[in-house]
Structure 1
Amino acid sequence: MTSNPPPLPVRTARPAQHRFTWHHFTMLFSSTPRGTRLARYLAGERLDTWGIPYGSDSHDGLTLIVAELSANAVSHGRVPGRDFRLRLSAEDATVRVGVTDTRGERLPTLTEPSAADQEGGRGLLLVAALTDQWGWFHHPDGPGKTVWASLDVRPL
Structure 2
Amino acid sequence: MTSNPPLPVRPLRTNQPPSLSNHFTMRFSSTPRGARLARRLAGERLDAWGVPYGSDTHDTVTLVVAELSANAVHHGLVRGRDFRLRLSTESAAIRVEVTDTRGERLPNLAEPASDDQEDGRGLLLVAALTDRWGWYPCADGPGKTVWAVLEVRMP
Specify the code of the residue in structure 1 equivalent to 2:104.
E
Q: Matched residues in 2 for 1:17 and 1:60: separation?
A: 17
| Structure 2 CA distance for partners of 1:17 and 1:58, relative to 1, 3 Å | closer
Instruction: Give 1:74's aligned residue.
Output: 73
The answer to whether the 8 A contact 2:130-2:148 is kept is yes
- 1:21 pairs with 2:20: yes
Structure 1 runs (4+) deviating above 4 angstroms are: none
* Residue 113 (structure 2) aligns with: 113
Change (3 A) 1:109 1:21: same
Correspondence for 1:34: 33
Percent identity, please: 72
- Aligned positions, number: 140
Q: Which moved more, 1:105-114 or 1:120-129?
A: 105-114
- Pairing of 1:1-156 with structure 2 (within 5 A): 18-110=17-109, 111-114=111-114, 116-156=115-155
SS at match of 1:151: strand
Aligned-pair CA distance for 1:77: 0.4
Could you tell me how far 1:18 is from its partner in structure 2?
3.7
TM-score in terms of structure 1 length: 0.87
CA root-mean-square deviation: 1.2
**Contact 2:17–2:152 under 8 Å retained in 1:** no
Q: CA deviation at 1:93?
A: 1.0
Write the distance in 2 (CA, Å) between the matches of 1:54 and 1:19. Answer: 13
Which stretches in structure 2 are left out of the alignment for 5+ residues?
1-14
Is the radius of gyration larger for structure 1 or structure 2?
1
Question: Is the 8 Å Cα contact of residues 39 and 65 (structure 2) preserved in structure 1?
Answer: yes
Residue identity matched to 2:93 = T
